[in-house]
Structures are given as C-alpha cells and as structure tokens.
Chain A
Amino acid sequence: MTNILTVRDLHIQARHKHGTTEIVKGIDLDLKPGEVLGLVGESGAGKSTLGLAAMGYTRDGCRISSGSIRFRDQELVGASASTLRHLHGNSIAYVAQSAAASFNPSHRLIDQFTEAPLEHGVRSRKQAEADAIQLYREMQLPNPEEIGFRYPYQVSGGQLQRAMTAMAMSCKPDLIIFDEPTTALDVTTQIEVLAAIRKVVKEHNTAAIYITHDLAVVSQMADRIMVLRDGHMVETAPTEEMLANPKEDYTKSLWAVRTLHRETRPRPEKTPLLAIDKVTAHYGEFKALDSISFDILPQRTVAVVGESGSGKSTLAKVITGLLPHSPGGEIRWQGEALPPRLQDRDKTILRDVQMIYQMPDTALNPRHRVRDVVGRPLTFYLGLHGAEKEERLRSLMEQIELDPDIYLNRRITELSGGQKQRIGIARALAAEPRFIICDEVTSALDQLVAEGILKLLLKLQEKYGLTYMFITHDLATVEAIADDVVVMQHGKIVEQGTRDEVFSPPHPDYSARLLASVPEMDPHWLDRVLAEQKIDLLENN
C-alpha cells in the first residue's frame, strides 16, 4: 500500500536572537492510509513541530531547512501558500491541545465547523450543517442537533475537545494531526474523549498522527509508536511490541517512570498537626467548600485528589488564610484554632505553613535572581544577613540538588521548568516550615523531571520531618508519595482514609470512576474499561 505521508530527512530550524537552533534533526516517517502513529516525547522533543510540519506548516520563527514531506504525491516543502491552503482543513486537518483556546470565542461552534467545507467548496451550508450534527452525534456529544448553535464558552472542556475533533472531520480529511488533545482534561473526561476520537477515526478510516507525552494514552490510540528526543527519533515500533519490549535505554526510562511507589507506613496515633473541622467556604454566593473535615498527621503526606472545580485549590487557600472560611467551621493548628484571615495570624504560623505552586513560571518573579527569591524568606522569617545568610543559601541549594556556584546568581528566566520548581521548593524550605502545601507541583512538568521532584520531596520529608498536603489530579502521583488520601468532588469529601484503603475496594461510585479512568500502559485498557464499566457516555454529560 502506498504511503499517505512520507517524510524524509526532515530538518527544522528555530530562529532566536543568537542565531538558529535545529529542533527537528533529520526525521523519517511513513504513514499508511488509516494508520494511527503515536508521537511520544518530553517537551522540547520536537513532536508538535514535527506534527505541524506534516501539514507543511511551521510556526513563526521556525522554518524547514531541508528534507521532504510528501502528502500522497504532493511535495509540501516549498509548496505555494495556495496549494497548502487547499490541503489544510480539506485533506489534512488539525486538532489542537486546548480546544477552549482554539475555538474562536466570537463564533458559534457550527459556524466554525462549516467554515472549512464552505471555504473549500466541498459542501453547501445546508449539507455542512447536516454533517456537523451527524458528527456531533458520532462524537457522542449531548443534544447533537442543538449544541452547535452554542458559543464555545457555553460548552464544557471535554465537549469542546470532541467538537473540535468533529470540526477536523468536517471535510472528511485523509489525515488528522492530534496535538495532545486530552492533556488539558480531567481523567474521567479524558476517557470519554479518547473513546470518541478512536471510534470516529476508525469508522472513517482516517490516518492520524497522535502527539502526546502520556504513554498510557498513546498505547490506547496508536497502531505504531515513535519516540522522539531532542529532535531525533529514538525508536519506532508497533504499539504492542514497543510496550512489551522497548529497545533503547531512553524509552525504557520513560516506561519506568510510573512505577515510583511509596512504602506503606502505619498510621500513627498522634495528635494531628492540622485539623480541618466542618470548614465551609464561599466565593460570593457560590459554595466552593461544603463542610470539609479531615486531619493531617505530623510527618505524613495527605493527597487531596479531585477534578478541576472540585475545590482542592480552594482548600489550600482556606488553610493558608488567603480565602477566609465561612463562620461555623474551624481550622486547628496543633489543637489551637487558627484565625480564618491571613492578616490575623501571627508570624510563626505564616512561617510554619509554606506553599509550592503549580506553575513555577508564574509563581517566581522572572526579573529576580535565585539568590533574591530564596534569600528573602531567610531575612524575613529568620532575620539572617551577610555570611550567615550566604551559608544558608548555599546549603539550601545543595538540598535541592542545584550547584550553588552555578545557580545562585542566575535569573529565574535562565532556568528550566524543573529547575524553577526546585527553586520554588527551596523558597518554601527557607522558612524552615513544618507543613508544606504542594499545589499540583508536578503537573506542568515532564514525567522524568516530575519524578525527580517527587523523589526530592520525599527525601526532604525524611530529613526534616515535614508534613505535606499534596493537591493533585494525577493518581500516579498519589501512588508515589501519599500516606493518606482525601477524594473531593463538588466541594465535598467523597472518601478519605489511608492510601491503601482508598485504593482498594469497595469504593464509593465517584472514587471507583476516578480510579478506573486512569489510563494504563496496556493497549487493551480502554476497551476493557469501556466494556467493564459500560460507561454510558451520554449519561455522564
């Protein structure tokens, strides 16, 4: 069978102020009609650039420096803008990572659906609208006749992602590029989107390139997997073979990441460090937390798990006092009630409770140097200056495994994502706290980097007897670090207990669904879950 897409020795350069860097370094790729190829790699591996290049498109600042991309018999490298425009949307379509950002907020979904077919002249408006409703139905969207007439903000994230896949199918293309289509979604939503995408791609016999950093996801979707690193291909093989028998060391290390597992520690009979007792909180009229009660025991890690909107981050705000809880409940620190408002708390409490944030890019001032960021709490809480402060700074840098001679004087912008998160940890540690709230600290990081951060946090906990509250939506992270688990939904606690209790049956409905939705590295996992649970996609919406 002839290839639908053939890439040979492709090189792509990115321009920056000091010249150019090659970000795709000589990649070959073959795709047969109807085949789904998974492109896997960490951020910076060049997978999105390669995916877009398969459409003959590069982002601003990038250019294809050499090589060939053939779509059927058409060479795309050096093809005219109008040639490419006739292919885009018509024969090759694109599904972006964030559907919320990739739908135009000013137009209704169906108008955005019909745009490509009308532009390419392959359908009349009436036919295109009928196609839209048909595809919305195939994508198992609720009210397929009506949903297209809504604006993007009126539709949930998971539904938008399905509407975007439907839009990509609007001209019945031969090839679709999926660029991390489920990365921004919660696990229980992700499963529905994955199932719908797979069904449609299979039924229409569309070839696809599926880009992701999540191996478990790609193993559900792809016939074949290609692993990329730093713009090079590491290896490629059919999915089953790749999972069972990865050949390269790098691939093996990627495969091994999800196996970090904390030893079970018996729950000690101690007074809780922090007791949350019937705490309720509101944003205006909206009740974000509804009578939450649980204890955090000293030197243990409590994972707070839930989907976006479940109230986990609100809980962190209430504990730190940024959002005062409503009257009625109480937060006790070592048995003593804490004032709800941050302004009313004394400095020792502020010092004892520190936070590490999800996005180190926004939580650290990009204009400051590492020395300023980590040094400020040393002066503020501990009153350190001069040589004493310098000594503490150096020892903190050693704690977070960054060489003080190299990194202390760097600016925040000169660090990688993982290094920034380590600086966030050092800043929290500098106060010599007893309790640290970690708000999704690894979700913006690649898996290998995230694993390093988790290991560091565990080591620090051992050494300083720290207590953690770990907010996360990722159950693999829970497995890796938690002693106790609190499962939240809609501002309420659904289930709580030790990790082993929560992870073993019987489960309340929601926990069961959450646990079952975590993708596994087994190509048949999605089929199995769909069959076992008979997840009724329409009912879940």
Chain B
Amino acid sequence: MSGIQKLVLRRIGLGIVTLFIVSLLIFIGVELLPSDLAQEILGQAATPETVAAFRRELGLDQPAVIRYLEWVAGVFQGDFGVSLANRRDVAELVAPRLKNTMFLAGYAAAIAVPVAVTLGILAALFRNSIFDRLANVFALSSISLPEFFVAYVLILLFAVNIPLFPSLARIDDATPFIEALYRTFLPALTLILVVIAHMMRMTRAAIINVLAEPYIEMARLKGVPRYKVILRHALPNALPPIINVVAINLAYLIVGVVVVEVVFVYPGLGQLLVDAVAKRDFPVVQAVGLFFAATYISLNILADVLSILSNPRLRAKA
C-alpha cells in the first residue's frame, strides 16, 4: 500500500471517529429541545395515559442511552429510522431533498470556484490597479450584505423589474436538467455572490504572499513573463490555502443555504431540517445533522489530501 493510500485511510478513520462524536452531540442537542413530540401531536387535551401510551409506541419511554445506541446501530445498517411526524422512512424523505441540495450547491460551485480563483489571480497580477480595487469593493460588499437581502434584490431586479427568471425555484424529479438550471438561476446566483468574495480574497492574498519569495524574483530574472510567473511559479505554491478556503465554501454551499432555500421556496435539505425541528421530528433532525457533519468532515479530508498532493515534499513523505 502506498503512503498516500495509508494517509487517506488514516484520515478517513479519524473522520469516522469525529462523526461518532458529532452524532453524540447531535443526539444530546436534540434531547435538550424542550417539550416532547407525543404531547405536541396529541395536543393539550390528551390524558396523561394516552400520552404515555403514545410515547411507548414511539419508543420514547426508553432511556436515552438505549435510544442513542439503537439509533447508531440503525445508521450503521443504513436505517435512519422512521419520521415521527408522518411515519415515512427517513431515508426516503431525505433522498430527494439531498439530491436538490447537491444540485444547487454543484451549480453554484461550478461557477463560483473558477470565477473566484481567476479573479483572485487577476487581482494579484494587477495588484493595486483599478481592477484590483473594484474587485475588492465588489467582493467586500457582496460578503457584507446578508444573503436574504441579496436574494430579494435579485428577485426585484431579475424577476420583477426585468422578468427574466422565476422568483420561485420549484423543481421536482420531472423537471428537465436545462429547465432546472433556468429555474434555480437566481438562488444559485445569490449563493455565488455570497461565496465568491472569500475565495477570491484568499487566492489573491495567498498569491501575493508567495510573490515575496526569492524564487519569484529568480523567475523574473530568468526573463519569464509576468503572467507565467504567477501561473507557473506562484500558483502551485499558493494552492494549500486556496484549496482549504474552497473546501469551506463548498461545505457552506451544502449546509448553510437554509435562508436562500426559504426565500426561493426551494425544496432542499435546509428547509426539511427547519420543518423537522419545528415538528420535533427527531429522526429527521438527526439524520440531516449527521449528513451535514459528514459533508464538512469529508470536504476537509479532501482539502487536506489535495494540499498534501500539491507539495512535492509532503507528497513523497506521505
């Protein structure tokens, strides 16, 4: 087995341990939520006996430790339990939402990442020029405005004033791909505007940092043109911080989009989570929470491994 495979396996092992700890935290968090589901569903008028019977039926009378272990054991077998609110299989409930969330995140990322990195490189190349300043002002303002505000402004501009795009991003399994891209353009654009600044500024900073290295001066004194100095000599050495900030933003695109989903009434995981919390539907909350944690962990593992691969010395050591 090569060193890099060993490294990846070790990171995955650590990721699973982290996921365990997170599962415990999610479970405790859900336990701490006030009131219980049986009371909630049956209403104030229910007798204590009915409530107790209903609790037994749902398995809520078991001690927390037992319920945690049963849940974890189930997850290991791919069984996330049954929704307490409507008795449907959690996996079945989550799957289509997950698909939608990944679609929107992928859509936004496919545009945001290349644009942000390119803008960052250009800003570093033309440091302190008008272009650099404009890019900075644009990036800072888009990151400073709250997402819902950006979303409503976009709706106002491109759905109301100039009706180019729909303001509601309703899609389902039957929606053709191109049609889905069109309908979700505004939420994707909102997300792009929110994540682009962070990645662009980090790319710019990482490259400028590397530009102070003696090997950059050396490259210039070999007569290498400026753009090649940046692409060939600066960028490869600036990759680790860029990869990390891209990974964090990808994770955000998947797990942090609740507000955008609500504004555009988009059927994603965020909406599902908010609904489930409101209904005290613990199995759904737990499953979505676990998925979000797994997303963060795996993207971080991926970023670590890619950073290591980008450095010949670490690559050889790994």
Binding site for B on A (CB under 8 A): 55, 57, 59, 85-90, 93-94, 96, 98, 101-107, 115-116, 119-120, 151, 153-154, 167
Provide the bound-state CA to CA distance between A509 and B196, in Å. 63
B239 (CB) vs chain A CBs: closest residue: A106
List the one stretch of B17-25, B219-227, B267-275 in contact with chain A: B219-227
B237 touches A119 (CB 8 A): no
Known: A102-B214, A104-B215. A93 touches B312 (CB 8 A): no
Smallest CB gap from A117: residue in B: B222
Complex Cα gap A107–B237 (Å):
10
Contacts beyond the supplied A88-B221, A93-B222, A106-B311: 5 A-B pairs with Cβ under 8 Å:
A94-B222, A102-B218, A104-B218, A105-B215, A116-B222
CB distance from A80 to the nearest CB of B (A): 13
Mark B residues whose CB is within 8 Å of A.
213-215, 217-225, 228, 232-233, 236-237, 310-313, 316
Q: Which residue of B lies closest to A100 (CB)?
A: B214
Nearest chain B residue, comparing its CB with the CB of A116: B222
Contact A94 B218 (CB under 8 A): yes
Q: State the 5 A-B residue pairs at the shortest beta-carbon distance, nearest first.
A: A89-B222, A88-B223, A89-B223, A106-B236, A101-B214
Contact of A105 with B223 in the complex, beta carbons under 8 Å: no
Contact call A119/B224, Cβ cutoff below 8 A = yes
Q: How far is the CB of B161 from chain A (nearest CB, A)?
A: 46
How near does chain B come to A474, taking the closest CB pair, in angstroms?
Answer: 24
Residues A101 and B222 in contact in the complex (CB < 8 Å), given A106-B236, A106-B311, A153-B312: no
Known: A94-B218, A102-B218, A104-B215. A151 touches B223 (CB 8 A): no
State the CA gap A115–B223 with chains docked (Å): 9
Within the complex, what minimum Cβ distance (angstroms) separates A111 from chain B? 9
Contact of B312 among A59, A101, A106, A120 (CB under 8 A): A106
User: Please, which residue of chain B has its CB at the minimum distance from the CB of A153?
Assistant: B313
Asked if B223 and A119 sit within 8 Å, CB to CB, the answer is yes
Which residue in chain A gives the minimum CB-CB distance to B228? A119
Question: What is the CB-to-nearest-CB distance from B49 to chain A, in angstroms, rounded to a whole number?
Answer: 66
B223 and A106 within 8 A (CB):
no
- Chain B contact residues, majority secondary structure: helix
- Chain A nearest CB, measured from B126 CB (Å): 14
Closest A residue by C-beta to B312: A151
Query: Are B312 and A85 in contact (CB-based, < 8 A)?
Result: no
**Of B215, B220, B221, B313, most A-chain CB atoms within 10 Å:** B221
Cβ-neighbour of A115 out of B217, B224, B313 (below 8 A): B224
- A105 and B312 contact, CB distance less than 8 A: yes
A115 and B214 within 8 A (CB): no
> Considering residues A57, A93, A119, which has the most beta carbons from chain B within 10 angstroms of its beta carbon?
A119
Shortest beta-carbon distance from A171 to chain B in Å = 9
Inter-chain CA distance A107–B235, complex, in Å, is: 12
A96 touches B214 (CB 8 A): yes
A-B contact pairs, 29 of them (CB 8 A): A59-B217, A85-B223, A85-B224, A85-B225, A87-B223, A90-B223, A94-B221, A94-B222, A96-B217, A98-B214, A101-B214, A102-B215, A104-B233, A106-B236, A106-B237, A106-B310, A106-B311, A106-B312, A107-B232, A107-B236, A116-B223, A119-B222, A119-B223, A119-B224, A151-B312, A151-B316, A153-B312, A153-B313, A167-B222
Whether A93 pairs with B221 at a CB distance below 8 angstroms is yes
Which B residues lie within 8 Å of A59 (CB)? 217
A87 to B222, CA, bound (A): 9
Residue pair B218, A115 in contact (C-beta under 8 Å): no
Query: Contacts of B213 on A, CB cut-off 8 Å?
Result: 101
**Nearest CB in chain B: distance from A114 CB, A:** 11
In the complex, chain A residues whose CB is within 8 Å of the CB of B220: 57, 88
User: Chain B residues with Cβ under 8 A from A86's Cβ?
Assistant: 223
Residue from B222, B232, B311 within 8 A of A88 (CB atoms): B222
Given contacts A106-B311, A151-B312, contact A89 B221 (CB under 8 A): yes
Contacts of A120 in B (CB 8 A): 223
Q: How far is the CA of A57 from the CA of B222 in the complex (A)?
A: 12
The complex places the Cα of A106 from the Cα of B310 at a distance, in Å, of 8
Interchain CA distance A167-B224 in the complex, whole Å: 14
Pick from B213, B217, B219, B223 the residue with the most CB of A within 10 Å.
B223
Residue among A86, A106, A115 with the highest chain B CB neighbour number at 10 A = A106
- Chain B residues near A154 (CB, 8 Å)? 316
Given A98-B214, A102-B214: A57 and B237 interface contact (C-beta under 8 Å): no
Instruction: Please determine whether A103 and B215 come into contact, CB atoms closer than 8 angstroms.
Output: yes
Residues of the A chain whose Cβ atoms lie less than 8 Å from the Cβ of B218: 94, 96, 102-104
Chain B residues with Cβ below 8 Å from A93 are: 221-222
- When distances are taken between beta carbons in the complex, the residues of chain A under 8 Å from B221 are 55, 57, 88-89, 93-94
Contact A105–B222 (Cβ < 8 Å): no
